[in-house]
Chains A and B, each alone.
Chain A
Amino acid sequence: MRLLGLGSVIAYRALFNWTTPTVFVGSLLIGPLFQLIFFAYVGRELAVGDDRFYIVGNAVLSVAWTCVFGGVMAIGNERRFGTLGHVLLSPRSRTLIFLGRATPYALNGLFVAAVILTVGALMLGLHIPASAIPLLALCLAVSSVACSFFGLTLGALGLRFRDIWVISNVTTALMVLLTGVNVPADHLPGFLRAVGSALPVTHAAAAARDAAGGAGLATIAPDLLIEAGIGIAYAVLAAVLLRIFEAESRRRASLDTL
Protein backbone atom coordinates (compact mmCIF):
# COMPACT_ATOMS: atom_id res chain seq x y z
CA MET A 1 0.00 0.00 0.00
CA ARG A 2 2.91 2.33 0.77
CA LEU A 3 4.40 1.69 -2.66
CA LEU A 4 1.04 2.27 -4.28
CA GLY A 5 0.18 5.42 -2.37
CA LEU A 6 3.54 7.13 -1.96
CA GLY A 7 4.71 6.27 -5.48
CA SER A 8 1.60 7.66 -7.08
CA VAL A 9 1.73 10.89 -5.07
CA ILE A 10 5.39 11.45 -5.99
CA ALA A 11 4.67 10.77 -9.69
CA TYR A 12 1.72 13.15 -9.61
CA ARG A 13 3.78 15.87 -7.97
CA ALA A 14 6.54 15.34 -10.52
CA LEU A 15 4.07 15.86 -13.34
CA PHE A 16 2.85 19.16 -11.93
CA ASN A 17 6.33 20.33 -11.04
CA TRP A 18 6.79 20.86 -14.75
CA THR A 19 3.75 22.97 -15.12
CA THR A 20 1.96 25.98 -13.61
CA PRO A 21 -1.54 26.86 -12.40
CA THR A 22 -2.13 28.52 -15.80
CA VAL A 23 -1.78 25.20 -17.58
CA PHE A 24 -4.02 23.46 -15.09
CA VAL A 25 -6.75 26.08 -15.38
CA GLY A 26 -6.44 26.52 -19.15
CA SER A 27 -6.29 22.87 -20.09
CA LEU A 28 -8.31 21.15 -17.41
CA LEU A 29 -10.92 23.73 -16.43
CA ILE A 30 -11.47 26.33 -19.14
CA GLY A 31 -11.22 23.98 -22.12
CA PRO A 32 -13.81 21.46 -20.84
CA LEU A 33 -16.02 24.29 -19.57
CA PHE A 34 -16.18 25.81 -23.04
CA GLN A 35 -16.86 22.36 -24.44
CA LEU A 36 -19.82 22.05 -22.09
CA ILE A 37 -21.12 25.51 -23.06
CA PHE A 38 -20.67 24.76 -26.77
CA PHE A 39 -22.68 21.57 -26.66
CA ALA A 40 -25.31 23.05 -24.35
CA TYR A 41 -25.97 25.73 -26.98
CA VAL A 42 -25.93 23.08 -29.71
CA GLY A 43 -28.53 21.17 -27.71
CA ARG A 44 -30.68 24.26 -27.25
CA GLU A 45 -30.50 25.24 -30.93
CA LEU A 46 -31.05 21.79 -32.40
CA ALA A 47 -33.44 20.64 -29.67
CA VAL A 48 -31.66 17.29 -29.51
CA GLY A 49 -31.43 17.27 -25.74
CA ASP A 50 -32.25 19.60 -22.87
CA ASP A 51 -29.77 21.50 -20.68
CA ARG A 52 -29.56 18.68 -18.14
CA PHE A 53 -28.62 16.23 -20.88
CA TYR A 54 -25.73 18.36 -22.14
CA ILE A 55 -24.50 20.03 -18.95
CA VAL A 56 -24.40 16.90 -16.80
CA GLY A 57 -23.17 14.72 -19.68
CA ASN A 58 -20.31 17.04 -20.58
CA ALA A 59 -19.35 17.50 -16.94
CA VAL A 60 -18.94 13.73 -16.68
CA LEU A 61 -17.02 13.73 -19.97
CA SER A 62 -14.64 16.35 -18.57
CA VAL A 63 -13.09 13.65 -16.38
CA ALA A 64 -11.88 12.00 -19.58
CA TRP A 65 -9.57 14.94 -20.36
CA THR A 66 -7.94 14.72 -16.97
CA CYS A 67 -7.92 11.00 -16.40
CA VAL A 68 -7.27 9.63 -19.87
CA PHE A 69 -4.43 12.04 -20.61
CA GLY A 70 -3.22 11.64 -17.02
CA GLY A 71 -3.08 7.86 -17.40
CA VAL A 72 -1.28 8.18 -20.71
CA MET A 73 1.19 10.67 -19.25
CA ALA A 74 1.80 8.43 -16.22
CA ILE A 75 3.63 6.08 -18.57
CA GLY A 76 4.33 8.14 -21.68
CA ASN A 77 6.18 10.89 -19.83
CA GLU A 78 8.50 8.36 -18.21
CA ARG A 79 9.66 7.47 -21.68
CA ARG A 80 9.81 11.08 -22.85
CA PHE A 81 11.87 12.21 -19.88
CA GLY A 82 14.11 9.15 -20.04
CA THR A 83 13.12 7.75 -16.65
CA LEU A 84 11.20 4.70 -17.85
CA GLY A 85 14.27 2.49 -17.60
CA HIS A 86 14.73 3.43 -13.95
CA VAL A 87 11.12 2.54 -13.14
CA LEU A 88 11.35 -0.79 -14.93
CA LEU A 89 14.58 -1.59 -13.11
CA SER A 90 12.74 -1.37 -9.82
CA PRO A 91 12.62 -4.68 -7.93
CA ARG A 92 9.01 -3.95 -6.96
CA SER A 93 5.91 -4.71 -8.99
CA ARG A 94 5.75 -2.32 -11.93
CA THR A 95 2.12 -3.23 -12.41
CA LEU A 96 1.38 -2.00 -8.91
CA ILE A 97 3.47 1.12 -9.44
CA PHE A 98 1.62 2.06 -12.62
CA LEU A 99 -1.86 1.05 -11.48
CA GLY A 100 -1.31 3.08 -8.32
CA ARG A 101 -0.83 6.15 -10.45
CA ALA A 102 -4.49 6.08 -11.41
CA THR A 103 -5.48 7.26 -7.91
CA PRO A 104 -4.26 10.89 -8.05
CA TYR A 105 -5.53 11.26 -11.60
CA ALA A 106 -8.93 9.97 -10.55
CA LEU A 107 -9.04 12.43 -7.63
CA ASN A 108 -7.94 15.19 -9.98
CA GLY A 109 -10.66 14.20 -12.45
CA LEU A 110 -13.27 14.23 -9.72
CA PHE A 111 -12.23 17.74 -8.71
CA VAL A 112 -12.26 18.98 -12.32
CA ALA A 113 -15.66 17.46 -13.05
CA ALA A 114 -17.14 18.92 -9.86
CA VAL A 115 -15.88 22.40 -10.82
CA ILE A 116 -17.11 22.06 -14.42
CA LEU A 117 -20.53 20.84 -13.30
CA THR A 118 -20.91 23.60 -10.70
CA VAL A 119 -19.75 26.44 -12.93
CA GLY A 120 -21.59 25.11 -16.00
CA ALA A 121 -24.85 24.71 -14.07
CA LEU A 122 -24.53 28.21 -12.56
CA MET A 123 -23.67 29.85 -15.88
CA LEU A 124 -26.41 28.17 -17.86
CA GLY A 125 -29.03 28.17 -15.11
CA LEU A 126 -29.46 24.46 -14.50
CA HIS A 127 -30.98 23.74 -11.10
CA ILE A 128 -29.66 20.59 -9.47
CA PRO A 129 -31.43 19.59 -6.23
CA ALA A 130 -29.14 19.37 -3.22
CA SER A 131 -30.38 15.84 -2.56
CA ALA A 132 -28.89 14.75 -5.91
CA ILE A 133 -25.35 15.93 -5.10
CA PRO A 134 -24.10 12.81 -3.24
CA LEU A 135 -25.24 10.53 -6.06
CA LEU A 136 -23.77 12.87 -8.67
CA ALA A 137 -20.48 12.81 -6.77
CA LEU A 138 -20.63 9.02 -6.78
CA CYS A 139 -21.19 8.95 -10.56
CA LEU A 140 -18.27 11.33 -11.14
CA ALA A 141 -16.02 9.30 -8.84
CA VAL A 142 -16.78 5.99 -10.57
CA SER A 143 -16.28 7.58 -13.97
CA SER A 144 -12.98 9.15 -12.87
CA VAL A 145 -11.59 5.81 -11.74
CA ALA A 146 -12.78 4.07 -14.92
CA CYS A 147 -11.28 6.80 -17.13
CA SER A 148 -7.96 6.66 -15.25
CA PHE A 149 -7.65 2.92 -15.85
CA PHE A 150 -8.66 3.46 -19.47
CA GLY A 151 -5.89 6.08 -19.70
CA LEU A 152 -3.40 3.62 -18.20
CA THR A 153 -4.44 1.06 -20.82
CA LEU A 154 -3.68 3.58 -23.56
CA GLY A 155 -0.49 4.53 -21.71
CA ALA A 156 0.56 0.88 -21.67
CA LEU A 157 0.45 0.98 -25.46
CA GLY A 158 3.12 3.67 -25.09
CA LEU A 159 5.56 0.93 -24.16
CA ARG A 160 5.06 -0.54 -27.60
CA PHE A 161 4.19 2.37 -29.89
CA ARG A 162 6.35 5.44 -30.22
CA ASP A 163 3.70 8.13 -30.54
CA ILE A 164 1.12 7.44 -27.90
CA TRP A 165 -0.27 10.98 -28.05
CA VAL A 166 -1.96 10.39 -31.37
CA ILE A 167 -3.85 7.45 -29.84
CA SER A 168 -4.94 9.45 -26.80
CA ASN A 169 -5.87 12.46 -28.91
CA VAL A 170 -8.00 10.46 -31.32
CA THR A 171 -9.54 8.46 -28.46
CA THR A 172 -10.70 11.54 -26.56
CA ALA A 173 -12.14 12.95 -29.80
CA LEU A 174 -14.00 9.68 -30.31
CA MET A 175 -15.29 9.80 -26.75
CA VAL A 176 -17.03 13.10 -27.55
CA LEU A 177 -18.90 11.27 -30.32
CA LEU A 178 -19.45 7.79 -28.93
CA THR A 179 -20.26 8.11 -25.25
CA GLY A 180 -23.79 9.36 -25.83
CA VAL A 181 -22.91 12.60 -24.07
CA ASN A 182 -23.55 14.80 -27.10
CA VAL A 183 -25.40 12.60 -29.58
CA PRO A 184 -28.10 10.58 -27.80
CA ALA A 185 -27.11 6.91 -28.04
CA ASP A 186 -30.34 5.90 -29.80
CA HIS A 187 -29.42 8.20 -32.70
CA LEU A 188 -26.12 6.41 -33.26
CA PRO A 189 -25.91 3.27 -35.42
CA GLY A 190 -25.63 -0.05 -33.60
CA PHE A 191 -21.90 -0.59 -34.05
CA LEU A 192 -21.01 2.89 -32.81
CA ARG A 193 -23.38 2.42 -29.86
CA ALA A 194 -21.63 -0.86 -29.06
CA VAL A 195 -18.20 0.80 -29.09
CA GLY A 196 -19.55 3.59 -26.92
CA SER A 197 -20.94 1.08 -24.42
CA ALA A 198 -17.46 -0.33 -23.89
CA LEU A 199 -15.98 3.09 -23.16
CA PRO A 200 -15.91 4.75 -19.76
CA VAL A 201 -18.19 7.79 -19.26
CA THR A 202 -21.12 6.36 -21.30
CA HIS A 203 -22.89 4.66 -18.39
CA ALA A 204 -21.75 7.14 -15.74
CA ALA A 205 -23.17 10.00 -17.81
CA ALA A 206 -26.52 8.21 -18.09
CA ALA A 207 -26.53 7.56 -14.33
CA ALA A 208 -25.53 11.15 -13.55
CA ARG A 209 -28.35 12.53 -15.70
CA ASP A 210 -30.84 10.34 -13.88
CA ALA A 211 -29.39 11.38 -10.53
CA ALA A 212 -29.58 15.07 -11.47
CA GLY A 213 -33.22 14.49 -12.37
CA GLY A 214 -33.94 13.16 -8.88
CA ALA A 215 -33.55 9.40 -9.39
CA GLY A 216 -32.46 7.33 -6.41
CA LEU A 217 -29.53 4.97 -5.98
CA ALA A 218 -31.62 1.95 -6.97
CA THR A 219 -32.38 3.53 -10.35
CA ILE A 220 -28.84 4.51 -11.21
CA ALA A 221 -27.13 1.45 -9.69
CA PRO A 222 -27.19 -0.70 -12.87
CA ASP A 223 -25.43 1.97 -14.93
CA LEU A 224 -22.94 2.65 -12.15
CA LEU A 225 -22.16 -1.04 -11.78
CA ILE A 226 -21.54 -1.36 -15.52
CA GLU A 227 -19.27 1.70 -15.40
CA ALA A 228 -17.37 0.20 -12.45
CA GLY A 229 -17.09 -3.11 -14.32
CA ILE A 230 -15.68 -1.29 -17.36
CA GLY A 231 -13.14 0.41 -15.09
CA ILE A 232 -12.06 -2.93 -13.58
CA ALA A 233 -11.83 -4.50 -17.05
CA TYR A 234 -9.52 -1.70 -18.20
CA ALA A 235 -7.42 -2.03 -15.02
CA VAL A 236 -6.90 -5.74 -15.77
CA LEU A 237 -6.20 -5.00 -19.43
CA ALA A 238 -3.69 -2.30 -18.47
CA ALA A 239 -1.91 -4.69 -16.09
CA VAL A 240 -1.72 -7.41 -18.75
CA LEU A 241 -0.52 -5.03 -21.46
CA LEU A 242 2.08 -3.52 -19.15
CA ARG A 243 3.57 -6.94 -18.44
CA ILE A 244 3.51 -8.03 -22.08
CA PHE A 245 4.93 -4.81 -23.48
CA GLU A 246 7.57 -4.54 -20.77
CA ALA A 247 8.85 -8.01 -21.62
CA GLU A 248 8.64 -7.19 -25.32
CA SER A 249 10.49 -3.89 -24.98
CA ARG A 250 13.28 -5.63 -23.04
CA ARG A 251 13.52 -8.33 -25.70
CA ARG A 252 13.63 -5.81 -28.56
CA ALA A 253 15.74 -3.29 -26.63
CA SER A 254 13.23 -0.63 -27.63
CA LEU A 255 12.54 0.73 -24.17
CA ASP A 256 13.83 4.24 -24.69
CA THR A 257 13.15 4.49 -28.41
CA LEU A 258 11.37 7.75 -29.00
Chain B
Amino acid sequence: MLLLGMLFHLKHASRSPFEIGSFVVVPIVQATLAVYLFRASAEPQKLLQAAVGAGMMGVWSSVLFGAGGAIQSQRWQGTLEMLMLAPRRPVMVFLPITLANGAMGSYALLATLVWGRVLYGVELDFAHPFAFPVAALVTVLSLGAFGILLASLFILVRHANAFMNALEYPIWLLSGMLLPIASLPAWTGPIAAALPTTWGARALREATSGGAVWPSLGLCAAISAVCLGLGALSLVHVERRARAAATLALA
Protein backbone atom coordinates (compact mmCIF):
# COMPACT_ATOMS: atom_id res chain seq x y z
CA MET B 1 0.00 0.00 0.00
CA LEU B 2 2.89 2.32 0.82
CA LEU B 3 4.56 1.73 -2.52
CA LEU B 4 1.33 1.99 -4.51
CA GLY B 5 0.39 5.14 -2.64
CA MET B 6 3.81 6.67 -3.29
CA LEU B 7 3.62 5.78 -6.97
CA PHE B 8 0.13 7.23 -7.24
CA HIS B 9 1.18 10.48 -5.59
CA LEU B 10 4.31 10.76 -7.72
CA LYS B 11 2.21 10.30 -10.85
CA HIS B 12 -0.29 12.85 -9.59
CA ALA B 13 2.49 15.37 -8.89
CA SER B 14 4.00 14.73 -12.32
CA ARG B 15 0.81 16.13 -13.89
CA SER B 16 1.22 19.47 -12.15
CA PRO B 17 3.34 22.07 -13.93
CA PHE B 18 3.59 23.92 -10.61
CA GLU B 19 5.09 20.94 -8.79
CA ILE B 20 7.40 20.06 -11.66
CA GLY B 21 8.53 23.64 -12.26
CA SER B 22 9.08 24.45 -8.61
CA PHE B 23 10.78 21.18 -7.70
CA VAL B 24 13.06 21.30 -10.71
CA VAL B 25 14.11 24.94 -10.72
CA VAL B 26 14.01 26.19 -7.12
CA PRO B 27 16.67 23.76 -5.73
CA ILE B 28 19.01 24.81 -8.52
CA VAL B 29 18.47 28.47 -7.66
CA GLN B 30 19.21 27.66 -4.01
CA ALA B 31 22.35 25.75 -4.98
CA THR B 32 23.53 28.68 -7.10
CA LEU B 33 22.88 31.07 -4.23
CA ALA B 34 24.87 28.87 -1.83
CA VAL B 35 27.77 28.54 -4.27
CA TYR B 36 28.02 32.31 -4.84
CA LEU B 37 27.68 33.05 -1.13
CA PHE B 38 30.52 30.68 -0.24
CA ARG B 39 32.62 31.89 -3.16
CA ALA B 40 32.21 35.45 -1.91
CA SER B 41 33.19 34.40 1.61
CA ALA B 42 36.61 33.74 3.05
CA GLU B 43 35.88 30.00 2.93
CA PRO B 44 35.50 29.06 -0.72
CA GLN B 45 37.03 25.64 0.03
CA LYS B 46 33.72 24.70 1.66
CA LEU B 47 31.84 24.73 -1.64
CA LEU B 48 31.01 21.03 -1.46
CA GLN B 49 29.52 21.50 2.01
CA ALA B 50 27.54 24.43 0.65
CA ALA B 51 26.20 22.32 -2.23
CA VAL B 52 25.23 19.48 0.14
CA GLY B 53 23.62 22.01 2.52
CA ALA B 54 21.65 23.57 -0.33
CA GLY B 55 20.52 20.11 -1.40
CA MET B 56 19.33 19.38 2.11
CA MET B 57 17.47 22.70 2.09
CA GLY B 58 15.71 21.47 -1.05
CA VAL B 59 14.76 18.18 0.62
CA TRP B 60 13.19 20.06 3.51
CA SER B 61 11.31 22.44 1.18
CA SER B 62 10.06 19.47 -0.78
CA VAL B 63 8.73 17.70 2.31
CA LEU B 64 7.29 20.89 3.81
CA PHE B 65 5.60 22.29 0.71
CA GLY B 66 4.86 18.86 -0.71
CA ALA B 67 3.09 17.60 2.41
CA GLY B 68 1.26 20.87 3.01
CA GLY B 69 0.47 21.39 -0.66
CA ALA B 70 -0.82 17.85 -1.06
CA ILE B 71 -3.17 18.20 1.91
CA GLN B 72 -4.37 21.59 0.73
CA SER B 73 -4.82 20.29 -2.79
CA GLN B 74 -6.87 17.29 -1.55
CA ARG B 75 -8.98 19.76 0.41
CA TRP B 76 -9.56 21.99 -2.62
CA GLN B 77 -10.36 19.02 -4.85
CA GLY B 78 -12.85 17.70 -2.31
CA THR B 79 -10.99 14.41 -1.84
CA LEU B 80 -9.69 14.97 1.69
CA GLU B 81 -12.88 13.52 3.18
CA MET B 82 -12.50 10.43 1.01
CA LEU B 83 -8.98 9.91 2.29
CA MET B 84 -10.07 10.31 5.90
CA LEU B 85 -12.97 7.90 5.32
CA ALA B 86 -10.71 5.18 3.88
CA PRO B 87 -10.90 1.94 5.87
CA ARG B 88 -7.25 2.20 6.83
CA ARG B 89 -5.38 3.94 9.59
CA PRO B 90 -4.98 7.61 8.62
CA VAL B 91 -1.20 7.31 8.91
CA MET B 92 -1.18 4.64 6.21
CA VAL B 93 -3.14 6.92 3.92
CA PHE B 94 -0.94 9.97 4.36
CA LEU B 95 2.49 8.38 4.80
CA PRO B 96 2.80 7.56 1.07
CA ILE B 97 2.20 11.24 0.29
CA THR B 98 4.95 12.50 2.58
CA LEU B 99 7.34 9.70 1.57
CA ALA B 100 6.73 10.57 -2.08
CA ASN B 101 7.62 14.18 -1.29
CA GLY B 102 10.76 13.04 0.49
CA ALA B 103 11.65 10.98 -2.58
CA MET B 104 11.03 14.00 -4.81
CA GLY B 105 13.27 15.98 -2.47
CA SER B 106 16.14 13.60 -3.18
CA TYR B 107 16.19 15.21 -6.62
CA ALA B 108 17.16 18.48 -4.92
CA LEU B 109 20.18 16.83 -3.32
CA LEU B 110 21.25 15.17 -6.54
CA ALA B 111 20.59 18.25 -8.67
CA THR B 112 22.59 20.60 -6.45
CA LEU B 113 25.59 18.25 -6.53
CA VAL B 114 25.44 17.78 -10.31
CA TRP B 115 24.85 21.52 -10.81
CA GLY B 116 27.78 22.37 -8.54
CA ARG B 117 30.07 19.88 -10.28
CA VAL B 118 29.17 20.70 -13.88
CA LEU B 119 28.77 24.46 -13.68
CA TYR B 120 31.00 25.52 -10.82
CA GLY B 121 33.60 22.77 -10.79
CA VAL B 122 32.87 21.74 -7.21
CA GLU B 123 35.01 18.69 -6.48
CA LEU B 124 32.78 15.83 -5.27
CA ASP B 125 35.46 14.67 -2.88
CA PHE B 126 33.48 12.98 -0.12
CA ALA B 127 35.24 11.91 3.07
CA HIS B 128 32.95 8.83 3.23
CA PRO B 129 31.88 8.15 -0.35
CA PHE B 130 29.96 4.98 0.56
CA ALA B 131 28.29 6.41 3.64
CA PHE B 132 27.06 9.48 1.77
CA PRO B 133 24.39 7.79 -0.41
CA VAL B 134 23.22 5.71 2.58
CA ALA B 135 23.00 8.87 4.70
CA ALA B 136 21.12 10.65 1.91
CA LEU B 137 18.61 7.80 1.53
CA VAL B 138 17.98 7.43 5.26
CA THR B 139 17.68 11.20 5.70
CA VAL B 140 15.19 11.55 2.86
CA LEU B 141 13.05 8.67 4.21
CA SER B 142 13.30 10.05 7.74
CA LEU B 143 12.11 13.45 6.62
CA GLY B 144 9.26 11.77 4.77
CA ALA B 145 8.25 10.18 8.08
CA PHE B 146 8.64 13.52 9.86
CA GLY B 147 6.27 14.93 7.24
CA ILE B 148 3.43 12.94 8.86
CA LEU B 149 3.59 15.22 11.88
CA LEU B 150 3.36 18.20 9.54
CA ALA B 151 0.51 16.59 7.62
CA SER B 152 -1.56 16.22 10.76
CA LEU B 153 -0.98 19.89 11.51
CA PHE B 154 -1.95 20.85 7.97
CA ILE B 155 -5.16 18.83 8.17
CA LEU B 156 -6.08 20.42 11.47
CA VAL B 157 -5.45 24.00 10.43
CA ARG B 158 -7.32 25.24 7.43
CA HIS B 159 -4.61 27.60 6.26
CA ALA B 160 -1.69 25.26 5.83
CA ASN B 161 -0.06 27.73 3.41
CA ALA B 162 0.67 30.19 6.19
CA PHE B 163 2.50 27.54 8.20
CA MET B 164 4.39 26.29 5.17
CA ASN B 165 5.62 29.76 4.34
CA ALA B 166 6.65 30.41 7.93
CA LEU B 167 8.47 27.10 8.52
CA GLU B 168 10.93 26.95 5.64
CA TYR B 169 13.68 29.35 6.75
CA PRO B 170 13.64 28.60 10.52
CA ILE B 171 14.28 24.90 9.90
CA TRP B 172 17.06 25.71 7.41
CA LEU B 173 18.62 27.91 10.05
CA LEU B 174 18.04 25.78 13.15
CA SER B 175 19.18 22.56 11.46
CA GLY B 176 22.50 24.02 10.44
CA MET B 177 21.97 23.15 6.79
CA LEU B 178 24.09 26.00 5.46
CA LEU B 179 25.67 27.36 8.63
CA PRO B 180 27.00 25.74 11.79
CA ILE B 181 24.47 25.74 14.61
CA ALA B 182 27.17 27.19 16.86
CA SER B 183 26.76 30.53 15.09
CA LEU B 184 23.20 30.79 16.47
CA PRO B 185 22.21 31.96 19.96
CA ALA B 186 22.70 29.27 22.63
CA TRP B 187 18.98 28.98 23.40
CA THR B 188 18.33 27.54 19.95
CA GLY B 189 20.51 24.49 20.75
CA PRO B 190 17.83 22.31 22.41
CA ILE B 191 15.32 23.11 19.67
CA ALA B 192 17.86 22.18 17.02
CA ALA B 193 18.72 18.94 18.82
CA ALA B 194 15.07 17.86 18.77
CA LEU B 195 14.75 18.23 14.99
CA PRO B 196 15.46 15.25 12.72
CA THR B 197 16.58 17.69 10.04
CA THR B 198 19.49 18.75 12.27
CA TRP B 199 20.84 15.21 12.52
CA GLY B 200 20.17 14.43 8.88
CA ALA B 201 22.06 17.53 7.80
CA ARG B 202 24.84 16.69 10.25
CA ALA B 203 25.12 13.11 8.94
CA LEU B 204 25.39 14.39 5.37
CA ARG B 205 27.96 16.99 6.40
CA GLU B 206 30.02 14.35 8.22
CA ALA B 207 29.83 12.05 5.19
CA THR B 208 31.08 14.98 3.12
CA SER B 209 33.84 16.44 5.24
CA GLY B 210 34.62 13.69 7.76
CA GLY B 211 33.20 12.60 11.10
CA ALA B 212 31.08 9.89 12.68
CA VAL B 213 28.18 9.59 10.23
CA TRP B 214 26.25 6.73 11.77
CA PRO B 215 25.43 8.14 15.23
CA SER B 216 23.97 11.29 13.63
CA LEU B 217 22.08 9.22 11.09
CA GLY B 218 20.75 6.94 13.84
CA LEU B 219 19.50 9.95 15.80
CA CYS B 220 17.85 11.35 12.66
CA ALA B 221 16.04 8.05 12.07
CA ALA B 222 15.09 7.67 15.75
CA ILE B 223 13.65 11.20 16.06
CA SER B 224 11.78 10.75 12.79
CA ALA B 225 10.33 7.45 14.08
CA VAL B 226 9.11 9.27 17.20
CA CYS B 227 7.61 11.98 14.96
CA LEU B 228 5.96 9.28 12.87
CA GLY B 229 4.40 7.77 15.99
CA LEU B 230 3.26 11.16 17.25
CA GLY B 231 1.97 12.02 13.79
CA ALA B 232 -0.02 8.77 13.64
CA LEU B 233 -1.63 9.51 17.02
CA SER B 234 -2.20 13.09 16.01
CA LEU B 235 -3.90 12.06 12.78
CA VAL B 236 -6.40 9.93 14.73
CA HIS B 237 -7.09 12.88 17.02
CA VAL B 238 -7.38 15.25 14.06
CA GLU B 239 -9.78 12.90 12.31
CA ARG B 240 -12.06 12.71 15.35
CA ARG B 241 -11.92 16.41 15.91
CA ALA B 242 -12.57 17.23 12.27
CA ARG B 243 -15.57 14.88 12.23
CA ALA B 244 -16.96 16.44 15.41
CA ALA B 245 -16.44 20.01 14.30
CA ALA B 246 -17.26 19.34 10.62
CA THR B 247 -14.37 21.50 9.53
CA LEU B 248 -12.40 19.06 7.40
CA ALA B 249 -13.36 20.41 4.02
CA LEU B 250 -13.37 24.08 4.89
CA ALA B 251 -10.61 25.77 2.94
Complex CA–CA separation, A173 to B28 (angstroms)? 10
Given contacts A35-B169, A166-B17, A169-B22, contact A174 B29 (CB under 8 A): yes
Residues facing B in A233-256 (CB within 8 A) are: none
> Among the listed A31, A47, A166, A176, which residue makes an inter-chain contact with B33, where contact means beta carbons less than 8 Å apart?
A176
State the total of A-B contacts with C-beta under 8 angstroms.
104
CB < 8 Å neighbour of A41 from B21, B22, B161, B173: B173
Q: Interface stretch among B40-48, B108-116, B214-222?
A: B40-48
Q: Is B183 in the interface zone, CB < 8 Å from A?
A: yes
In the bound assembly, the distance between CA atoms of A225 and B25 in angstroms comes to 32
Q: Does A22 contact B (CB under 8 A)?
A: yes
Please judge, given known A-B contacts A19-B159, A162-B17, A170-B21, whether A177 and B29 are in contact too, CB under 8 Å.
Answer: yes
A188 partner, pick from B30, B36, B183, beta carbons under 8 A: B36
Q: How large is the interface on B (under 10, 10 to 19, 20 to 34, 35 or more residues)?
A: 35 or more
Alpha-carbon distance between A30 and B169 when the two chains are bound, in angstroms: 10
Q: Check A41–B169 contact: CB distance below 8 A.
A: no
* B161 adjacent to A170 (CB under 8 Å): no
B56 CB to closest chain A CB, in angstroms? 14
Chain A residues with Cβ below 8 Å from B41 are: 46-48
Smallest beta-carbon distance B184→chain A, Å? 7
A71 to chain B, nearest CB (A): 17
Query: Of all chain B residues, which has the CB nearest A65?
Result: B165
A182 in contact with B33 (CB, 8 Å) = yes
Across the interface, which residues of A come within 8 angstroms of B157, CB to CB? 22
Does the CB pair A38–B40 fall under 8 Å?
A: no
CB nearest to B179 among chain A residues? A45
Chain B interfacial positions (CB closer than 8 Å to A) = 16-18, 20-22, 25-26, 29-30, 32-33, 36-43, 157, 159, 161-163, 165-166, 168-170, 172-173, 178-180, 183-184
